[in-house]
Amino acid sequence: MTFLQQYGITEPLLIILAIDLAIAIVLLAFMRYLQGWSVKVNSTQELAERDNFAFGISTAGVVAALGIVLTGAITGEAATSYTIEAIGMTAYGVFGLVLIRLGRFLHDKIALNEFPKNEEILKGNVSVAVVDAASAIATAIIIRAVLMWAEDITIDTFIAIFSAFLVSQLVLVILTRVRENRYAKRNQGASMQQALQQGQTALALRHSGYMIAMALSFNAASHFIIYIPSAYVSNIIGWLAFSFVMLILMSVIITIVKKLVLAGINLAEEVEQQHNIGIAAVEMAISIAVALILTALMA
């Protein structure tokens, strides 16, 4: 018995892992170039010649997002054949890539609909790029959770995944609208989206923290909703109800923790008026930390 066999690692398993890794590498490389093709620019020129930091941040977000999705596609369980493993990994990976692109499109057209996102990124707007990267990562975290929740590779599986994805996008839009309303009330009716367009990086960091936190809390639903392939309506209702409950719970706890951790600091003034990136980074960390703790508790 070899060293690897002692730990249950056989030659077929190594081949399957190699297949998964090879497909993952190809998809990650493809995503980098797709980022440039989607906005009709040469990604190499934007990254290395123009030194467009905003484009780099946006590209980093989608590459990281695809990596997160692929961890949901790789189950670690050996398929019945190498061909089936390759087909399954490719199908989930491509489907995840499509959903990431669709999520970014919906976020641009519905959530952040007051300015052309791609034009701002090509201009070098780092604030918009940060929010764009965060939205891609948040979408990926949600897709991964649904991939881990669903089973097999059937039409019903993809319908279930797509249904949960649509619910998550709705919740992201609602979260954005709530944050916009709060910003407007504190700033004499000013637009949060216009503030992002004007380059308020601190505001971008805080909003990004909320989006990623929401995605992580959405992940907790997979531990409570029973996967029934053909129960399309009940799946949607389950994800929708649990998402709203987690969003409200997360928001309340984040508010409490921020008041304790950042006691004596006027967060609205520091982030929204003085553009304090340091305070915004702490707020972002608090949001993500609370969501991680809630997810761990729910699991």
Cα 256 from Cα 261, distance rounded (Å): 9
Sequence-distant (6+) residues with CB within 8 A of 222 are 145, 146, 148, 149
Tell me, what's the pLDDT at 9? Answer: 61
Tell me, what's the pLDDT at 7? Answer: 53
The answer to whether the predicted template modeling score (pTM) of the entire model surpasses 0.85 is: yes
Tell me, what's the pLDDT at 191? Answer: 92
272 in Cβ contact with 186 (< 8 Å): yes
Cα 16 from Cα 76, distance rounded (Å): 9
Q: Which residues of the chain have pLDDT under 70?
A: 1-11, 75-80, 151-153, 299
Under DSSP, the state recorded for 187 is T
CA–CA–CA angle 109, 200, 253 (5° rounding): 80
Sequence-distant (6+) residues with CB within 8 A of 251 are none
Identity of residue 282: V
- The pair of three-digit structure tokens given for residue 120, joined into one six-digit string: 């701002």
Torsion angle of the four alpha carbons 38, 33, 58, 46, in this order, in degrees rounded to the nearest 10: -90
Tell me, what's the pLDDT at 128? Answer: 93
Tell me, what's the pLDDT at 144? Answer: 85
- The pair of three-digit structure tokens given for residue 261, joined into one six-digit string: 């951790």
Tell me, what's the pLDDT at 280? Answer: 94
pLDDT tens for 194-225 read 999 999 999 999 999 999 999 888 777 777 77
Tell me, what's the pLDDT at 132? Answer: 92
Tell me, what's the pLDDT at 1? Answer: 45
Q: Give the C-alpha distances (Å, rounded to integers) separating 250 from 18, 214, 218, 244.
A: 39, 8, 10, 10
Cα 3 from Cα 179, distance rounded (Å): 54
